[in-house]
Structure 1
């Protein structure tokens, strides 16, 4: 995980399923590619939008952070 590319919040924001075809979300400093998830079609998952850091929002979700295990980590969020 140490050799992952760093992305800014601005770069992450472009991967929202609207501006670019990729759909990415960040959680605890890692960026996940959720493009193939049917739950993230059009960059929205319930009240959550792609291209954002969802770390603070997970407490409202009906699932735990293990949900991210099924997605590929593609980078680190440069904060």
Structure 2
């Protein structure tokens, strides 16, 4: 795929933080982290990233990962 096609597909992707519906419970000292998900329904690709404490960094990693996957097509 060309870089222009990849950018068009990335713009059409949904990026969100996957927060569980039920409360975690118990005592917690730090802020809980949740996976950042990027998905494209038309292609059936879904990538979930939870490697960093920062949601911004996880989002950046998820978008870069999606771009790498799309380069394979």
TM superposition score normalised by structure 2: 0.28
Q: Which has the higher contact order (CA 8 A, sep 6+)?
A: 1
Give 1 or 2: higher strand fraction. 1
TM-score, normalised on structure 1? Answer: 0.27
Structure with greater Cα Rg: 2
More helix by share: 2
